[in-house]
Chain A
Amino acid sequence: MRRGLRSRVLGISGKLLVGLILAFIVLPAFVVTLAAFNDRAILSFPPAKYSTRWFTRALTYRDFQTGLWNSLVVTAWASTIALAVGTGFAIALKRYAFRFKAGLEGVLLSPLIVPHFTIGLGLLVLATGIGAARGFPVVVVTHVIVVLPFVIRSVYISLQNIDERLELAAASLGARPGRVLGTITLPLLAPGLVSGWLFAAILSFNEFTASLFVTGQATQTLPVAMYGYVREFADPTLAAVSVIYIAVTAALLTVANTFLGLGKVLNVEQGR
C-alpha cells in the first residue's frame, strides 16, 4: 500500500517537473508574443487590448529595415563560406592522418569555448590595424569563425555515416578520386551539408555579442539594431521583432523538415 502511494506521488511529481521544465522553455516566447500584440506602449502583462501597430512600427523603422537586410546579407555569405570551408576541414579531419591533427581540430572548435566578445574584440583590433574596421568583410569573417565549429561537426557526423566501401567500390569501377567525390561522397553528404548550412544560417542570423564589436552604423545586423533600440525606447516593438524572428526560424525549420526530414537535417537520429 505505502509502496503504491509513494510510487504514485513520485510519478505525479515527476510529470509535474517535466511539465514545468517544458513550460519554462516555451514561456519566454509565449510572453513576448502576447506583449507584441499589446496595444499599450508599456510592456505589461496580460494585455488589455490587442493590436498589430508594433509590427507596423517594427517593419517601417529604418534601423530595423537596414539591420534585417544586413543580417540577411551577412548570414548568406557567412553560412555559405563556413559550409565550404567547414566541409573541407571535416573531410580532412575524418579521412586523413597528418601532424598536428589534434591541434587543428582544437583550433577549429575553439569558438565553442572562447567567448564571442573575445572573438569580436580581437577581430575589431585586427581590422582596425589594417584599416578595414566595421566593414562587411570583417562582419562576415567574424560570423564564419563563430559558426564554423557547428558546420564541421554536422558534416563530420554525416561523413561518419557514409560507408567508405562505397567509395572503394566506385574506385574499383574506374572512378578517379575527383569523380568519387562528385558522384558518391557529395551526393550522400547532401543532407549533412544542408543541415550544416541551416545551423550556420540560424546561428549567424541570431549572433549578437561578436557582431556588437565589429559592426558599425552602416553594417549593423538586426540583433545589434535591436540592442540599440532597447537602449532608447521601451515599447513592444522589440517584442514584435522577436515574434517575426520566431516565425521566420520556425518556417525555415518546417521547410527543412518537409523536404529533408528534420531528424536528418539536425542529425538528431544519427543511426539512420
Chain B
Amino acid sequence: MLSKAADLSLPARPPGTSASPRGTPAVRLDGVVKRFGAVTALEETWLQVEQGEFLTLLGPSGCGKTTLLNLMAGFLEADAGEIFIGGDLVTATPPYEREIGIVFQNYALFPHMNVAKNVGYGLRMRGVPKREIARRVDEALALVKLSGFADRSPRQLSGGQQQRVALARALVIQPKVLLLDEPFSALDKNLRGSMQVELKEIQRRLGVTTVFVTHDQGEALSMSDRIVVMSAGRVRQVGTPDQVYRHPQDRFVAGFIGDVNRLPGRLEACAGERATVAIRDLRRDVEATALRDCAAGAEVDVFVRPDHLGVRPAGEAGSLPACVAALVYQGSHIDLYADLADGGRVLVRMPGQGALATYAPGTPVGILVPQGGLVAFPPEP
C-alpha cells in the first residue's frame, strides 16, 4: 500500500524531501488578530503548524476556529499580525495564490460540473495540459476510491461520496496545506467513523499538512497530532490529544474535552509541582500549575474523568457518600449517575454490565476518588 504513494503525483512528501527547508513550519501565525466591528473574533494568536502535521482547531461555535481557518485560506484579512505559509509571507496574498486546498462542511461541489470536472478544476485554473489533467484526476479519484464516478453529477452522489470528491478536488492541486471545515458534521454517525479513518489514512500516506476545524472533541482526540483548544476568540491550550485530555491547562479545556465531573474542594497546601486538595475529608494530590495564585484554604474545583471514579458499598473508607440516581446502559459500559450527599451529581463510567444488577436507583453508595488523574482549578470568578 505504501509503495503506491510514490506513483502518485499527489503531494507525496516523505520527510526531508519537502520543498521548503527542513524545520520551516507549514503555517505560522504571528500575533494575528481579527475583529468584526466592535467584536474581536480572534484575539492575538501565535501558532505554528509543522510540516505534515494533522492539527485540529477545537472549540464550541463562536470560539474563533472558523475565523482562524478563513484567515489561513485568505478569505478574511487579518487586522494585525502576519501569516506565513511554507515560510512565505502571505498576509496580503489573495486565496487564489495561496495554494491551499479546502473542504467545506457542505462540500461546495460545483453543481454544474461532473465529478471529473470538479476534481480537475484547480488544474485547469493552473493551465495544466489536458492529458495530464485527465491522468491526475484519475489518480485522485482512485485515491478516494471513486474510480468510475468521473461522469456522475454531484447530485447523483451520496453525502460520503460528495465528501470524497471534495477531498480529491482539494488534494489534486498538491496544496501546501489542506484545510478541513467541519467536514464530517453532515454525515451520519456510521459513515462518519469510517470516513475519519479513511481521511486519516490518506493524510498520513500523502504527508499533507492538515488543519482541521471541529466542535466534536471525540473527532479531535481520535484524529489529531496536536489539538488547539479555543474558546471566546482565544487559544486556551495547544497540545497532543493526551496532553489536553489528561493535563488540561484551564477549566475550560478540562470541561470541554471529554466527559468530566467537578467536585468542590479546598486547597490545603501548595508545594512545588504538586498541591494537596481536600474533597470533604479525602486528601488528594493534584498538579499545582493552575493553583499558584491560590492561598491555602481557598476553594477550588477538582475535575475527574467518569472512568477514573469507582463505586463502592456505602461508608467505605476513601469514598464520598452518595445515592444512585440512574443507570444508563451504553453497550460497552454502564454510565452510573449518583447524587452526592453534599449536593451535586457525578457520572461514573464502569466497564461491563455488573453494575446493572448491583446498584438499583436509590441505593446508597460510596464514590471512590482515585489518587491520580485529578486536576484542580480556581473557581470561576
Instruction: List the interface of chain A (C-beta within 8 A of B).
Output: 163, 165-166, 168-177, 179, 183-184, 187-188
Known: A172-B101, A173-B170. 5 other contacts (CB 8 A): A166-B108, A169-B108, A174-B97, A174-B173, A175-B121
Q: Which of B74, B106, B112, B121 contacts A173 (CB 8 A)?
A: B121
Give Cα A175 to B123, complex, Å.
Answer: 10
| A177 partner residues in chain B, CB cutoff 8 A | 96
In the complex, residue of chain A having the shortest beta-carbon distance to the beta carbon of B73: A172
Are the C-beta atoms of A171 and B111 separated by less than 8 Å? no
Q: Note all chain B residues with C-beta closer than 8 A to A188.
A: 111-112
Q: Which of A163, A169, A176, A187 contacts B102 (CB 8 A)?
A: A169
- Cβ A171 vs Cβ B108 within 8 A: no
Which parts of B132-168 form the interface with A (CB within 8 Å)? Answer: none
The answer to whether B96 touches A166, judged by C-beta atoms less than 8 angstroms apart, is: no
Cα(A175)–Cα(B125), bound, Å: 6
Q: Which residues of chain A have C-beta atoms less than 8 A from B101's C-beta?
A: 172-173
Quick one: which of B96, B97, B169 has the most chain A CB within 10 A? Answer: B96
Tell me whether A165 and B122 are in contact in the complex, defined as CB-CB below 8 angstroms, given that A171-B96, A173-B173, A174-B173 are known contacts. Answer: no
Contact A174 B73 (CB under 8 A): no
The answer to the question of B100 belonging to the interface, with a C-beta cut-off of 8 Å to chain A, is: yes
* A168-B75, A168-B95, A168-B102 known; A174 vs B108 contact (CB < 8 Å): no
Residues of A within 8 A of B84 (CB): none
**A177 to B: closest C-beta gap in Å:** 8
Q: Which residues of B contact A166 (CB under 8 A)?
A: 108, 110-111
**How many whole Å from A96's CB to the nearest CB in chain B?**
15
* Contact A174 B122, beta carbon cutoff 8 Å: yes
Identify the interface centre among B101, B122, B126: most chain A CB within 10 Å of its CB: B122
- Of A163, A169, A172, A174, the residue contacting B126 (CB under 8 A) is A174
Chain B minimum-CB-distance residue to A166: B108
The residue of chain A having its C-beta at the shortest distance from the C-beta of B121 within the complex is A173
A50 → chain B closest CB, angstroms: 50
Instruction: Please judge, given known A-B contacts A168-B75, A187-B112, A188-B112, whether A174 and B106 are in contact too, CB under 8 Å.
Output: no
- Asked if B111 and A176 make an inter-chain contact with CB atoms under 8 angstroms apart, the answer reads no
B110–A170 contact, CB under 8 A?
A: yes
- The interface residues of chain A lying within 8 Å CB-to-CB of B108 are 163, 165-166, 168-169
Contact pick for A175, options B73, B74, B96, B170, CB 8 Å:
B96
Contacts of B95 in A (CB 8 A): 168, 171-172
Among B106, B111, B125, point to the contact of A179 (Cβ < 8 A). B125
Count how many pairs of residues, one from A and one from B, have CB atoms less than 8 Å apart in the complex: 64
Q: Which of A168, A174, A176, A179 has the most CB of B within 10 A?
A: A174
CB contacts under 8 Å to A, within B91-117, are 94-102, 104, 106, 108, 110-112
User: Are A165 and B100 in contact, with the CB atoms below 8 A?
Assistant: no
Q: CA separation between A48 and B207, bound complex, in Å?
A: 88
Q: Which of B32-62 contact A (CB under 8 A)?
A: none
Given A163-B106, A168-B73, is A174 in contact with B96 using a C-beta cutoff of 8 Å?
yes
A136 CA to B102 CA in the complex, in Å? 52
Residue of B nearest to A187 (CB): B112
**A residues within 8 A CB of B110?**
166, 169-170, 184
Of A170, A172, A176, A187, the residue contacting B100 (CB under 8 A) is A172
| In the bound complex, CA of A168 to CA of B105 (Å) | 13
A173 x B125 contact (CB < 8 A) = yes
- A165 to B95, alpha carbons, bound, how many Å? 13
Please report the C-alpha to C-alpha distance between residue A170 and residue B75 in the assembled complex, in whole angstroms: 12
> Please, could you name 10 A-B residue pairs with CB atoms under 8 Å apart, sorted by A?
A169-B110, A171-B95, A172-B73, A174-B122, A174-B126, A174-B173, A175-B96, A175-B125, A176-B96, A183-B121
CA distance A183 to B100 in the complex (A): 19
Q: How far is the CA of A176 from the CA of B95 in the complex (A)?
A: 9
Residue with the greatest number of chain B CB neighbours at <10 A, chosen from A169, A172, A184: A172
CB distance from B372 to the nearest CB of A (A): 46
In whole angstroms, what is the CA distance A243 to B74 when docked?
58
Residues of chain B in range 273-326 having any CB-CB distance to chain A below 8 Å: none
Which residue of A has the minimal Cβ distance to B175? A172
Measured in the bound complex, the distance between the Cα atoms of B97 and A175 in whole Å is 9
Contact with A along B224-255 (1 / 0, CB 8 A): 00000000000000000000000000000000
| Residue numbers in B under 8 Å from A168 (CB-CB) | 73, 75, 95, 102, 104, 108
Q: 10 nearest interchain CB pairs?
A: A173-B122, A174-B125, A165-B108, A171-B95, A169-B108, A172-B102, A175-B125, A187-B112, A165-B104, A171-B96
Taking a contact as CB atoms under 8 Å apart, the answer to whether A165 and B112 are in contact is no
B112→A172 contact, CB < 8 A: no
Identity of the chain A residue whose Cβ is nearest the Cβ of B112 in the assembled complex: A187
List residues 62-76 of chain B with CB under 8 A from any CB of chain A. 73-75
Bound: A125/B170 CA distance, A? 59
B106 near A170 with CB under 8 A, answer no
Cα distance A229–B97 in the bound complex, in angstroms: 65
- Asked if B96 and A172 make an inter-chain contact with CB atoms under 8 angstroms apart, the answer reads yes
Which of chain B's residues have a CB closer than 8 A to the CB of A173? 96, 101, 121-122, 125, 169-170, 173
Expressed in whole angstroms, the Cα–Cα distance for A166 and B107 within the complex equals: 9
Complex-state Cα separation, A187 to B121, whole angstroms: 15
Report B-chain residues with C-beta under 8 Å of the C-beta of A170. 110, 121, 125
Instruction: Specify which chain B residues have a CB less than 8 angstroms from the CB of A179 in the assembled complex.
Output: 125
Cα–Cα distance between A67 and B77 once the two chains are bound (Å): 56
